[in-house]
Structure 1
Amino acid sequence: MDTTDTRLVLKAAAFLILTAISIPANIFVCIAFLQTLVTEGKLMTADIILCHLAFANLMVALVRSIPQTMAAFGSKDMFDDDGCKMAIFCFRVFRGLSISLTCLLSTYQAVLVSPATSRLAPLKSKIPEYLMHIIFILYVMNCVSYSNTLLNSVASFPNNTIPLYTFNLQFCFITYPTYIDFISGGLTKFFSDLLFIVLMAIMSGYILVVLYRHGKRVRSLRSSESSQSGARAEVKASRAVVTLVTLYCLFFGVDNIIYLYSLTVLRVALLLSDIRVFFATLYTSVCPVVVIITNPKVKIKTKMKKQNVEGQFTGTTTSAL
């Protein structure tokens, strides 16, 4: 097996694993929160954000991970021009939603743990009150921001000649008429992402500072068991949010370092392109796993499902005897 065949096999295996994890995991998270909504009649603010985040990650997996996996296995001509426009548009929109919702989640958690004297304290009631308006604005903002993708995406070129200033996704192409359009489009995307990254990093740093001060105060004061229990739940939620932000920043770093490099060359090596796409979609698999492990409502659904499976297995075994 030569180097090219090895790269294709590894690429196919990597994207297949990502797809096999991200789609069922995100569906499970969405269903868990929807079941909670039906049984309890409401969802907490953070849970609503997580539910939309899981949906956004699910859509990224459907419109990017699946085509990328099929392309890795040698599938060609999956889309016509209209199909490419919609697939890439949906990927950009839901990827943008993924980063903006993660930013919203870290901001809300920072507000939630902030002391009553903090300048963030007034937002504790404002964010839940206007949450659906904020999420709607994020959807609209990302749709408008990436509408130019509908003009620049194609399935193929005459004579199979790929022009300059084109991103080859291997199942579709994003092409720009001039170098100025190529650079400006890339830098606009990069800095819009960077704005959210910086904000969520600042909020995560603030959360860590508050948790550190809170830990010192708890060690010096005796608290009731109920207040300790509430504090522990808040700390666990905060740590989960900080974990998500840290992972996103890591994946964002690798993705965008390669993306910035691709803006400086006429042809990007396929290996670098594959690595970039892998890290661009990796969050869709890791995020729901973190939520399943750390979120109490989702963990309860996981335990209930295990108990049902074990009960069915035991019942089947008994009847067979």
Structure 2
Amino acid sequence: MDNRGVIKASSFLILTIISVPANLLVCCAFLHSYLIEAKLLTADIILCHLAFANLMVAFTRSIPQTLAALGYVNFFDDIGCKISLLCFRGFRGLSVSLTCLLCVYQAVAISPATSKLAPLKMKIPQFLLYIILFLYLLYYSTSVSSILYAVSSLFNNTIPPYTMNLDYCFMLYKEYSSYMSVGFGVMARDLVFIVLMIVMSGYILRLLYQHSQKVKKIRSSDHSHKGRRAETKASGAVVTLVVLYVVFFGIDNIIWVYSITILRVAPLISDIRVFFATLYTSVCPIVVITTNPKVQRKLKLVKMKREVQTTGRNTCTM
């Protein structure tokens, strides 16, 4: 294996090792809360779906990419490639749209009663499942190009122009127009959610700044501020997720725009783009685990149970 192959395999292996258990942990924490408490907060439901989407991105892109980098190729036939790439594009799109939904909801949740967003405080929780279902339908219906163009192998192993080489599968566009239209269509679709995220994040930061100015004027240890501090912490976590996604999305699409200006893209450039396209799936659950009180409580509970079991075993052996 050459140096590029070693770096590629190591990079995607690290992403997989982080992404799969971290997203599983977030999903299990919220599902356990639902089983115990019989309810979940609106933000928790969105985060659970987001973790599931990130987990599926890891299964449909990070793991196959790791296997391909390690030398395991042709593990998909044409149908497998079509299903894998359709799922990847659908769940990657859900990742951005659910992050956007989380950002919008957080902005609505902390907005004052006089804000124009105030009516949405009741509307979003009421129609949340319908909104999420709509996002699933939107992204899978607009990702059908994967079914049309995905193949597992090429004729005579020759890579023609306008082909996306993923090592384990290929996106074979027969014309430059289809290559451009699909690419710009996907970018424009995601850009709508990116712009909305940026606007809502700016609104959240403005509200947080106004709140900090009020706190400076009125110093108090009143318990009424505890809820506000929790909202501030949650808002900061959401803004962090938005900033990370915007950065990764920007790098991904800058590389894509560059790639359409040349006939054949260097393998290293494609590797970097795919890496940043999946990096969010590993970073997102880490942010959630380190900032979400509910997930942290579940981790502490598991740790306490293990300590009790260890203590019991040691007592029995004495």
- Determine if the TM-score, normalized by the shorter chain, exceeds 0.5: yes
Moved more, 303-312 or 36-45: 303-312
**Partner residue of 1:312?**
309
1:263 CA displacement: 1.4
Question: Mean Cα displacement is larger for which, 223-232 or 307-316?
Answer: 307-316
Q: Are residues 1:285 and 2:282 paired? A: yes
Q: Distance in 2 between matches of 1:319 and 1:11?
A: 48
Is 1:80 the counterpart of 2:77 in the alignment? yes
Which whole-Å CA distance do the structure 1 matches of 2:183 and 2:64 have between them?
22
1:161 equivalenced with 2:158 (yes/no): yes
Match among 209, 227, 232 for residue 229 of structure 2 = 232
What is the alpha-carbon distance in structure 1 between the residues aligned to residue 315 and residue 38 of structure 2? 38
Residue in 2 that maps onto 1:251: 248
Q: Residue 26 of structure 1 corresponds to which residue in structure 2?
A: 23
Q: Matches of 1:117 and 1:224 in 2, distance apart?
A: 26
Separation in structure 1 between the aligned mates of residue 312 and residue 12 of structure 2, nearest angstrom: 37
Is structure 2 residue 71 aligned with structure 1 residue 48?
no
Query: Using the alignment, how far apart are the partners of 2:197 and 2:59 within structure 1?
Result: 26
Whole-Å Cα distance in 2 between the matches of residues 57 and 165 of structure 1?
28
| Separation in structure 2 between the aligned mates of residue 254 and residue 114 of structure 1, nearest angstrom | 32
Task: Report how far residue 259 of structure 1 moved.
Answer: 1.1
Moved more, 223-232 or 52-61: 223-232
CA contact (8 A) 2:82 2:147 kept: yes
Specify which of 168, 187, 190 is matched with residue 187 of structure 2: 190
- Residue 100 of structure 2 aligns with an amino acid whose one-letter code is C
Matched residue, 2:94: 97
Indicate conservation of the 8 Å contact 2:151/2:169, yes or no.
Answer: yes
Unaligned segments of structure 2, at least 5 residues: none
Distance 2:220 2:131 in 1: 36
- How many angstroms apart in 1 are the aligned matches of 2:123 and 2:201? 20
- Cα deviations across residues 181-212 of structure 1 (Å, max 9, x unaligned)? 11111111111111111110110111000000
SS, match of residue 156 in structure 1 = coil
CA distance in 1, matches of 2:70, 2:302: 33
User: Residue by residue, what CA displacement relative to the aligned partner does 1:285-319 show, whole Å, maximum 9, x if unpaired?
Assistant: 11011111111110001111222222333333443
1:59 to 56, 59, 75: 56
- CA RMSD, 1 decimal: 1.2
Distance 1:24 1:182 in 2: 35
User: How far 1:176 sits from its partner (Å)?
Assistant: 1.2
- Whether 1:170 and 2:162 are equivalent positions in the alignment is no
Q: Alignment length, in residue pairs?
A: 318
Q: Does the Cα contact within 8 Å between 2:145 and 2:182 map onto a contact in 1?
A: no
Greater displacement, 182-191 / 56-65: 182-191
Aligned-residue offset at 1:222: 4.8
SS at structure 1 position matched to 2:2: helix
1:303 counterpart residue number: 300
- Contact 2:54–2:91 (CA<8 Å) still a contact in 1? yes
Residue identity (%): 60
- Partner secondary structure for residue 162 of structure 1: coil
SS class of match (2:114): coil
Unaligned runs of 5+ in 1: none
Q: How many angstroms does 1:159 deviate by?
A: 1.1
Distance 1:269 1:317 in 2: 58
The amino acid across from 1:268 in the alignment is V
1:115 corresponds to 2:120: no
- Looking at structure 2, the residues matched to 101 and 10 of structure 1 have their Cα atoms a distance apart, in angstroms, of 31
Instruction: Answer whether contact 1:186 1:263 (CA < 8 A) is retained.
Output: no
Tell me the equivalent position of 2:33.
Answer: 36
1:187 and 1:270 mapped to 2: Cα distance?
21
Counterpart secondary structure, 2:73: coil
8 Å contact kept, 1:292–1:299: yes
SS in structure 2 of the partner of residue 143 of structure 1: helix
Cα separation, 1, equivalents of 2:128 and 2:96: 16
In the alignment, what sits opposite 1:273? 270
Q: Distance in 2 between matches of 1:175 and 1:223?
A: 63
